[in-house]
Amino acid sequence: MELKEFFAFVTGGGSGLGEATVRALAATGAKVAVFDKNAEAARRVAEAVGGLAVVGDVASEDDVAGAFDAVAARFGGLRVVVNCAGIGTSGRLVSKSGPHPLELFERTIRVNLVGTFNVMRFAAARMTTEDELESGERGVIINTASVAAFEGQLGQCAYSASKGGIHSMTLPAARELARFGIRVMTIAPGLIRTPLFDTLPPDVAERIEAQSVFPRRLGRPEEFADLVVAIVRNPLLNGETIRLDGALRLPVS
């Protein structure tokens, strides 16, 4: 599927992986909607690519439904949805302060997993109404998990559960939507240099970077975005989670 003249919708598009994805999709000729809770960030990125900023919460039914309606009225022709919105949390099952806060677990699941599913269901409903392309496709949905879905570290029960759920939805969603010509894929990034990484103390950052196998560096958001574009263009990629980690396997801690 080529993206020129089509409309793409990227959650978490105001920074990090989402911003890089917005820019890469726009560079192919797609019209891109930037969905983010941070209004200023969404507007900044949208203005840079001639796209549309939409503010909202991925876990809100009203926000997501309204966003798709607003963007369809402006662009029409929804073909690509990329779920990049998410939060990183940590907390041990039992610590000096007691059991893991249930609120933190629920919030992590709600934003990462429920939010992804919420966007995916509205996107699928919209895509099923689109005309079939010459390839037989109607669209592609790309979600973001993490290598923590497979080897979560100490303190990552909530985060790993949320990302593992995204991985587990991939194949059944792809099977269900196949009859409409809609593909579903997931990317599981390893250690990517996002703005969050730059806030770490230098010694911690160096220790994390040293875990890389090859290349001996952190991944770049642009490499994630390149994979998104490759998935969109290759119709045989469907129902799978691709690790983007340079052979990294997370240690216990």
At 202 the pLDDT is 74
Closest by Cα among 181, 20, 8, 178 to 80:
8
At 136 the pLDDT is 93
At 211 the pLDDT is 83
Please give the sequence-ordered ranges of beta strands (E in DSSP) within 70-181, or none if there are none.
78-83, 94-95, 98-99, 139-144
At 206 the pLDDT is 76
- How far out from the chain centre does Cα 59 lie? 14
* CB atoms inside a 10 Å sphere around CB 136: 8
Please give the sequence-ordered ranges of beta strands (E in DSSP) within 112-152, or none if there are none.
139-144
Q: How confident is the model over 135-188, as pLDDT tens digits?
A: 899 999 999 999 999 998 888 999 999 999 999 999 999 999 999 999 999 999
The one-letter amino acid at 207: R
Give the containing element (helix H, strand E) for 211.
Answer: none
More confident residue, 145 or 74: 145
Provide the token pair at 6: 């089509």
The helix/strand/coil state of 186 is: strand
What is the pTM assigned to this prediction? 0.94
At 200 the pLDDT is 60
Of 114-123, 125-134, 145-154, highest mean pLDDT: 114-123
Q: How confident is the model over 85-111, as pLDDT tens digits?
A: 999 888 898 999 999 999 999 999 999
At 114 the pLDDT is 98
**Residue 81 pLDDT exceeds 80:** yes
How many whole angstroms separate alpha carbon 58 and alpha carbon 18?
A: 13
How many whole angstroms separate alpha carbon 228 and alpha carbon 3?
A: 12
| Superfamily per CATH, domain 7-191+220-244 | NAD(P)-binding Rossmann-like Domain (3.40.50.720)
The torsion angles phi and psi of 192, rounded to 5 degrees, stand at -115, 135
At 227 the pLDDT is 98
With 0-12 / 13-18 / 19 or more C-beta atoms within 10 angstroms meaning exposed / middle / buried, residue 154 is exposed
Catalytic residue positions? 159
The domain limits of the chain are 7-191+220-244
